[in-house]
Amino acid sequence: MKINVLKKADKELKIEIEGAGHGLCNLLQKELLEDKSVDMAGYDIPHPLASNPVIFVRTKGSVKPEEVLKKAAEKAREANEVFRKELEKALKA
């Protein structure tokens, strides 16, 4: 997986994620939209067969978009870990 920064400003960040799909992008978008410091967040896959997804984040106040994106990625990782543990418990039962 490779990440390319397409646009970086004080309150906006646009990145392209090579090799990702709707699963990762949708999860990141959900986490971003739950953050009160995020004004807008979304993603686009310009062409489903030949394009890499592009994620866009715009923040409010003095919060940097790269910080909210890192926080969203961490929250997604934690949710995945909780799911993994619960799945292991359920499969043992």
The four Cα atoms 29, 13, 75, 47 give a dihedral, to 10 degrees, of: 40
Tokens 């067969």 — which residue?
Answer: 49
The span from the CA of 89 to the CA of 33, in Å, is 30
* Count of domains observed in the chain: 1
Residue 64: domain span: 2-92
Question: pTM of the full predicted structure?
Answer: 0.86
Q: What is the CATH number of the domain that holds 34?
A: 3.30.1360.10
Tens-level pLDDT at each residue, the chain (93 residues) = 899 999 999 999 999 999 888 899 999 999 999 999 999 999 999 887 778 999 999 999 999 999 999 999 999 999 999 999 999 999 997
